[in-house]
Structure 1
Amino acid sequence: MQRLVKRKDFLAAAKGLRANAGPLLLQARDRADEDCPRIGLTVTKKHGNAVERNRIRRRLREAVRDALPRAGRPGFDYVIVARRAALGTRFSELVIDVERGIGRLHSGSRRGPRPAAGGRATRDAVRADGDAANDV
């Protein structure tokens, strides 16, 4: 398992696909190569002191080590953003959540890439059926 260590790789994954999976948020990007998948873990300071954050990180690292060979695809970078609930979740459920999240990323049942700054829909946006969004 290769790890993401550079900030630009984390930022690139944040602009890609996203999926929620229980106590995790998964982000992914397709590198468009056939190299093995890489993984990055993020646990913010709001989730406890250093001891708790490191415990969450160790648990996630082991869960990914178990789930990635089954669920991951070559040529993808995955970033897992942990929530505090990852500390209290049973390990077997954590592995299932990682697999489920990666599956959602690749199945299409996830949120798409974030729109660029200023790319939000305007008040007079047009819906898919051609009607203006505010003509209800």
Structure 2
Amino acid sequence: MLSPDHRLTGADSFRSATRGRRAGTRTLVVHLALGEGHDPARVGLVVSKAVGNAVVRNRVKRRLRHLAREHVSSLPGAAVLVVRALPAAAGATYPELGADLARGLDRVLA
């Protein structure tokens, strides 16, 4: 679970990440906007109904939340990260989601 300091809330915060860099993989699209200041990095997840029913969406969200927690310490300060799940995420295994998230983060941080 992400700590409250690292959670992204509010539509404006999510929109701010779309002004940054973007990288897509088979199962995810990663948006990263670098901010200024000493705020902690924040992470938000977007899992739409296109991914599947409520059970599937919640499973994908739980997996992504856990994976994002592992990467939040490597993000620059005041960064805003939004991870959007694509329909292919419904059938992806935990290691596949982890590899796609790492690949997407490497691309936007490069």
TM range (shorter): 0.7 to 0.9
Residue aligned with 2:71, SS: helix
Query: Alignment partner of 1:46: what SS?
Result: coil
TM-score, length basis structure 1: 0.70
SS at match of 2:32: strand
2:76 matched to which residue of 1?
A: 73
Q: Secondary structure at the match of 1:47?
A: coil
Question: Gaps (5+ residues) in structure 1?
Answer: 108-136
* SS of equivalent to 1:15: coil
| Aligned alpha-carbon RMSD (Å) | 1.5
Q: Which residue of 2 aligns with 1:97?
A: 100
Unaligned runs of 5+ in 2: none
Q: Counterpart in 1 of 2:44? A: 40
Higher relative contact order (Cα pairs below 8 Å, separated by 6+ residues): 2
TM-score (structure 2 length as normaliser):
0.85
Instruction: Indicate if the aligned counterparts of 2:14 and 2:44 stay in contact, CA closer than 8 A.
Output: yes
How many residues are treated as equivalent by the alignment? 106
Higher Cα radius of gyration: 1
> Relative to total residues, which structure has the larger helix share, 1 or 2?
2
Q: Following TM superposition, by how much is the alpha carbon of 1:50 offset from its aligned partner in structure 2, in angstroms? A: 1.4
Deviations 1:58-113 (A, max 9, x none): 111111112333x4222210000001222322212322221221111121xxxxxx
TM superposition shift of 1:10: 0.5
Select 1:60's aligned residue among 52, 61, 64.
Answer: 64
Describe the SS at the equivalent of 1:34.
coil
Structure 2 CA distance for partners of 1:91 and 1:54, relative to 1, 3 Å: same
Q: Kindly indicate whether the alpha-carbon contact (under 8 Å) linking 2:33 and 2:80 is maintained by their aligned counterparts in 1.
A: yes
% identical equivalent positions: 35
Q: CA deviation at 1:15?
A: 2.2
Q: Which residue of 2 aligns with 1:31?
A: 35
